Every structure is written in structure tokens, then in C-alpha cells.
Structure 1
């Protein structure tokens, strides 16, 4: 026992010693951060007057704020600071998720079916289906049966997840003032009642139930068809509203939804650090044609307008909306390619190969700036300048590899009326990748790396240096671009 303790203590000392070395190394070099650039295309003098700002942290204590002249990275200015309390805490998500309850749950002890569902309120609408299958499940056995969902519920049960933020609910009871309280089920129930997405007549679910010898519940699982019904939500926030809609991957039926398909609003009331949802305010505030396919929803850089991009037939449109009145301030076409069919090859939960056809749209994201808007897809992006509240088409150009999704993030852009700069960062390193365009042509592309990525390693065992934490970009300050 003593020997084991001594070995454990020795390992702990080695690990802590290595971490201390890394900390000391970074602290000693705090004001000596160097930035180097590799030119991939064009001339770096095109970046004259363009500056990148980037903040990084190590171990939640050390912070570096870098100002990088992108035509002269060797002239980078560094501000170093040490913090007593941790910095760079992850910010909570502002996304809205909506899905149908599905999956497997295991139980120990003397759980009844009713108790199990009581602990998961979102499953309550499915209780009659569970009870029916349970009635044919012998004690001490595991039993599966495929049933028609429509025989038990008319509309899908929904679970609504608001990204872990401290939300409460403003619930108006009869004859009483609105009383703030926390209730996940009330949120899900309000959305379920409002949308009432009808279940198809032939949709079949497989229910599995296992009981012990006394009839107590040991397992309850559901498996729905692949791909499962899961309305994919796009959302954005203003000070007093949550705006959301459903994107191209949501095969939902809005025939029972008040106002039909469109852009929906839910009122917010802020009290200190808490946000309360006014569930009674849920409404369709901007109806859209049933066959419109929404591709993007965001707010402008100053937060004064909403930008809604959708495809109707072969035509792509971006609408600029006043979030207070929902007036369409501007509507303009986007020169994207028409939708096209693609085959998707994947596997179901049992490992069986599945192939099905999907539609591919030429737009899937946006980057709003102070004086521009970039709408982009997998192949091309489209630049619109912004002047006096009006967007004007400038040019389109191919997407460069670093501007696509994983492992990169398209974070920042800058437009000076002639040249557009678009930059991205990797998930795991400081520095950036930069592409610059004029009249739709790539005029410069470079990769910038910083010495903060040069973490010390165990020279004798370089493969065992996992205990050195890398320097991370600081959440909320990963990258900004500005023209002088």
C-alpha cells in the first residue's frame, strides 16, 4: 500500500512539475509573441491597412491580446495580463432545439411504468402506447413490439431545449397575475400545443419493455423511423424577443399551426440575469408560403434588423425585417444556384445501410458586418454592401477551403468598398487563415501562425506530453478584422 502511494505521489509530482514548466515558459515569453505568415496565393501587400485582433488564454489565468497588421505580421503588438480568477468561461448557447422524445431508459428497483413516465413529463402523451405494450409483456421477460403511433396520439410530443440558459416561464393562470417560475414541461407543452405537428397515418414505432419477476419495470425504450421527425430550428434573439423558424431539414406539417408556416416570435422578459418566457405570446409574426424553404435567420451587425433568407422554387430571397413591426424593409434576390437532388448514404441504428435522396441548396449561412452582408454555401459566397440601410449586390466568388465548416469557423470579415477580407480560425490553435477578394477574384491568401502554439514538450517522451494544456482562443474574442 505504501509503495503504491509513493508511486502515485511521484507521478503526481511529475505531472504538476510538467504543468508548472509549461506555465513558467508561457509566462516568461508573455510579451514575446511572434506571428509568421505563409503566402498561399497573391500578394500580401493587398492586406495593407487590414488589422486582425485576437485574444488567447492559457489555463484560465494568462491572457494575450494580439493586434496583427496582416501585411506586416512581424509588427504584431501584444498585451499580456495575469488574472486571479479564471477567464474565458464558455458562454451558454442561445440556440433553440426541438425534438421528439425517443431512446432507452433503464431502471433499478420497483419502478412502475406510471412512475417512470411521471419522471419524464415529455413522455406523458406516449403513456397509453407504453401501457398497451406493457400489457403484453410477461413478468421476467423483455418484449418488443412495433405499433402505429397514430393509434395513440394525433400529434407529436415535443421536447424543447433552450440551450441551458436560466429561463423561467411567465404563466398566466385564470384570475391571477403572471407568476415567474421554472417549468421545462410547460415550455415543451406550449410549443406542442401551438404547432400540433400531425403524426402520419403509417408511422410505426418499436417499443421495448422489460420487467423483473415481480412485474417491475427494468427497461423502457422507443425506436422511431430513420430519420426521426426532428424539426430543425433556426433562432436568433433580440432584447425582448426570441425569433425562430424551421429550416430545410424540417419535414413538418403546419396545417394545425396558427398562421401556418413562417417566422415565429416568443416574448422575453428580463429580470437581472434571468430571462422569462411569455408563453402566451407565441405567434407567427411573419407568414411564409408553405413551400418556402428557410435557409438562414440572423440579425444585422447592429441588431436593428432581422435577415431572413429562403428559397421558393428556384429563386433565393433575402428579406430585411424590422423586429418591432415585422415590416419588410427590403427584399432582394440572391444569385445562388437552383436546388439540386443528392443521394445520401448512411446507416440506421442497427448498422443497416440506408440510401435516400435529399435536396441540396446553394446557401446555408450568413456573415453580417457593419457595412456588408455575406451569404454563403458550400461552393460560393455572395457579397452585398450596406449603405444607408440598403443592401446592394457586389459580387460572388468561390468558397475557399478554410471558409468551410469543421475544422474551421468563419468568424470575421471586413469590407472597404473595394476589397473583401474573410478570415477563419481553427478550433485548436491561435492564428488565422485569410482570403481577400476584389470584384470576385482572389487577390491574396495567407496562413498566420503565432508562437503561442509552440507549447513545450517532454523532450525525452514527446508522445507523452498530453498534460500540457494548449493555449486556446478566448470565447467571444477569437477574431475581428478591421480596415484602417
Structure 2
């Protein structure tokens, strides 16, 4: 027994020594990454002061973190990590890979203070409807039936999740179901299958949602000292007409809008009220607060424009601004939130449109409006409305300049960098790295990965202007 223990210990020490040697060799090769930039339009000097922190991921085993001075890419600093077991650490979040638009956001990774869900697809959510089919299913047989849910239920069920603590609070959930009575469309039906054994016991129950509809329920929250303000958005997408439309909110007090949830100390009881009602035909897009919490913002699409409403912390309306055209053919795309600015993005039919709203002299005003049409027409496209041909990776704004980093499948792990000012496109550069199959072959050999093509994924980068004390 003692000999076996000693042998195991020696093998472990030998393996550690081998892995250490491989690690040193791989680290030396992997960290030798260079970046070059080709100026496609404008002057590279327009990117002076801009720095990109670009994570590049490959084959679930290799991760490069490149720090690229945009105006001096030759000074790029690179750091390399690998793991034969896959990268499952805090260096990056694998969920980024599943997002078609990994925009840079002001997210700190803390749990949502409030999550609202409309559960679908589980037999436990539709017990009464399942029972209808079960009652018709003889022992030893299987029955499938289409059920119109509106004939069985008055409204969608709602689940409420507070503080990300893993506990569902039924009293608060009931408060939400009573307040947000959202009727199920009359033509929405599910397919329910029930199978019984010879003794008549149910052995399988399947529920398939209506393939004609896709339902999305999202919530934006702002936490105050004594309450949670939130915007609830419930939309359907019809796979027949390819149209998106809002759920019926006519039974909600005040209709769709901004609401306030106040709870007791242990969050087992709560009350709701509507603070702001959306105008008829308005489609809410996003609700958030400034960094200091003193100002609240609501973006909507209405009357053919992307409209901004600015409130104080008590939800008193201070200002309304129309930022840019928006609608079904040019929908709201995303939002970047900075310390004293934000950038709204709309996906037009042939370009991205950007509007920068900046805090200046105590007011929030439009600082810059621009678009990507110049580079699209020049053949340097990073625009793709469906998200398959391109990826808008990140943005930052400072001192009248908006920087936009984007890539597409042909470029990865390279990327485009655009800088816009009041005159339009001030700089467009194509940045390429030495990470390509030929250069990577020796490294892959060391890792025992000599098969297949090299798939790169460019994760959400950090992109920021080096702000000065004079310029903010």
C-alpha cells in the first residue's frame, strides 16, 4: 500500500513537471502576437488616445488578451492563457459566445433585483389543460390534442424572482398576477400529449408551445432606496407574418408603462402602482438610470422615431427628445451606457445609426448623430441586420468622438475600427493580428490540437478613450 502511494506521488510530480514545461513553451509562443492596422479612410490620428482590450478565444483552450493602442498598434501588449480542460474561469464569460450582439454594457455582473417570467412549455404550468387530455386518455394508450389556452385560462401565469437569491415568493407572485392580467391570445394553442401505462398511470406528459408564436418577456429595473422601479415588456413574434407586436395590456391599471414595486423587509409581501403610462402605439425599448441615480431615462419607438424621455428620481418628466427615425423597417438595436453619456443604436435597412446623448451643464442633450453608410458604400461593411455577417462589438465616446469596433466572420480575429466626429467618418481602419492558421500551427502542435480548422471567436472587447482631467 505504501509503495502504491509513493508511485502515485512520483507520477503526479512527473506529470506536474511535464505540464509546467509545456506551459512555459506554450506561453512563450502564444504571447508572441502582433497587430497591424491598414487605414481605409480618414486619418489614424483621429484614434489617438483610444485603447482596445480585445479577448480572442480559440477551440475552448486558448485565450489571448490583446491591449491595442488604436493609433499605435505596433505597441500592442498581449497576454496568453490556455487549458487542455477548457477555459472555465473568470477571464471571460462563455455566455458571451451565445449572444449575437455582444455589445459593451455597463453591467457589473450582480444578480437582477427583479426578474419576471412567463413560464411556458412545462406540464406543471398548464395542469388544468393537461388534465383535459389525461381525462380522455384510456389506460395503455397515448393521446395528443390541441388545446386553446384562452378557453382554459384567463391570463398568462407570472413568476417573480427577487434579488437573485433563488427563492420564489408566492405572495409577491400573486400580487403580480393580480396586477398584470395579460390575456392569452384567442388563437394561441398548445399540443399536449399524455401517455398512460396499463394501470392507467401517466408515464409521460409533453407540452409543445404554439409554433405560430414566440413570446418574450423582459424587464428593466432601477433600484431606489425604498422601491424597485421597472419596465415590463411582453411581446409576441408571429412566425407567419414575421411581425412583432405587444401583448394586450388593457387590463393593467394604467396600461403598459413604468411601475413601482414596494415590498416589506423580508420581501414576502408587496404592492404595485403605475408611475407612467405609455402613449397608445408606443413600444417601450429600454429603461435605466444615470450613474448617480438622479436621472431616469425611457426609450420608446413611437410615431416613426426613437423617442427619449428624461425623468427625475421621482419620475417627474423633465424633457422629451426625438433621437432618430425608427420603426419596423429600422428597429432599435442596442444601447451603450457610459458615465456621462449613452449611445442609442438603430439598425436601418442599409446601415447602423448612432445617436450620442451627453450630460452637459446639468442637462442631457444630443451631442452627435452619425451612421455607417460611408463605409458600407465603400465596400468595408460591418453592417448586418440579421447579425450573421457582422458583429458590433463595442463603442465609446469622449470629447466629441465616437469610436465603434466591429468584426465579421471573414475578418476574425481581425476587426474594423471607426471613429466619428461632427463631420462624419474621421477614421476607418482594418486591424489584423498574427493569429492565423499558419502562424498558429506550432502552438496547436504543442497543445495536441492538430486537427480541423482554427475557429476564432472575438469576445466583447473593452474599448475606451483615455480621458484627461481637462477633457473629462
Give the match for residue 284 of structure 2. 294
Rounded Cα–Cα distance in structure 2 between residues aligned with 1:458 and 1:369: 43
Q: Does the residue aligned with 1:230 lie in a helix, a strand or coil? A: strand
Residue 381 to residue 212, structure 1, CA distance change in 2 (3 Å): same
Give the match for residue 88 of structure 1. 91
Give the match for residue 480 of structure 1. 464
Give the match for residue 458 of structure 1. 445
Instruction: Report the TM-score, using the length of structure 2 for normalisation.
Output: 0.70
Rounded Cα–Cα distance in structure 2 between residues aligned with 1:142 and 1:451: 59
Match of 2:183 among 181, 187, 198: 198
Provide the aligned C-alpha RMSD in A.
Answer: 4.4
Unaligned 5+ runs, structure 1 = 1-14, 104-116, 169-181, 271-275, 340-358
Give the match for residue 99 of structure 1. 118
Give the match for residue 344 of structure 2. 375
Give the match for residue 177 of structure 1. none
Rounded Cα–Cα distance in structure 2 between residues aligned with 1:26 and 1:461: 11
Kindly indicate whether the alpha-carbon contact (under 8 Å) linking 2:355 and 2:366 is maintained by their aligned counterparts in 1: no
Note if 1:230 corresponds to 2:215: yes
Q: Does the residue aligned with 2:176 lie in a helix, a strand or coil? A: helix
Match of 1:422 among 404, 419, 436: 404
Residue 236 to residue 478, structure 1, CA distance change in 2 (3 Å): farther
Kindly indicate whether the alpha-carbon contact (under 8 Å) linking 1:101 and 1:159 is maintained by their aligned counterparts in 2: no
Note if 1:210 corresponds to 2:199: no
Question: What's the CA shift for 1:326?
Answer: 1.2
Q: How does 1:257-268 map to 2 (within 5 A)?
A: 257-266=252-261
Give the match for residue 327 of structure 1. 316
Count of matched residue positions in the alignment of Structure 1 and Structure 2: 405
Match of 2:274 among 270, 276, 284: 284
Q: Does the residue aligned with 2:274 lie in a helix, a strand or coil? A: strand
Rounded Cα–Cα distance in structure 2 between residues aligned with 1:447 and 1:44: 11
Question: What's the CA shift for 1:25?
Answer: 3.7
Kindly indicate whether the alpha-carbon contact (under 8 Å) linking 1:434 and 1:447 is maintained by their aligned counterparts in 2: yes
Give the match for residue 104 of structure 2. none
Residue 40 to residue 29, structure 1, CA distance change in 2 (3 Å): same
Rounded Cα–Cα distance in structure 2 between residues aligned with 1:76 and 1:460: 25
Note if 1:317 corresponds to 2:310: no
Question: What's the CA shift for 1:42?
Answer: 2.9
Rounded Cα–Cα distance in structure 2 between residues aligned with 1:397 and 1:66: 27
Deviates further, 367-376 or 240-249: 240-249
Kindly indicate whether the alpha-carbon contact (under 8 Å) linking 1:59 and 1:469 is maintained by their aligned counterparts in 2: yes
Question: What's the CA shift for 1:251?
Answer: 2.7
Instruction: Report the TM-score, using the length of structure 1 for normalisation.
Output: 0.68
Residue 21 to residue 211, structure 1, CA distance change in 2 (3 Å): farther
Kindly indicate whether the alpha-carbon contact (under 8 Å) linking 2:191 and 2:207 is maintained by their aligned counterparts in 1: yes
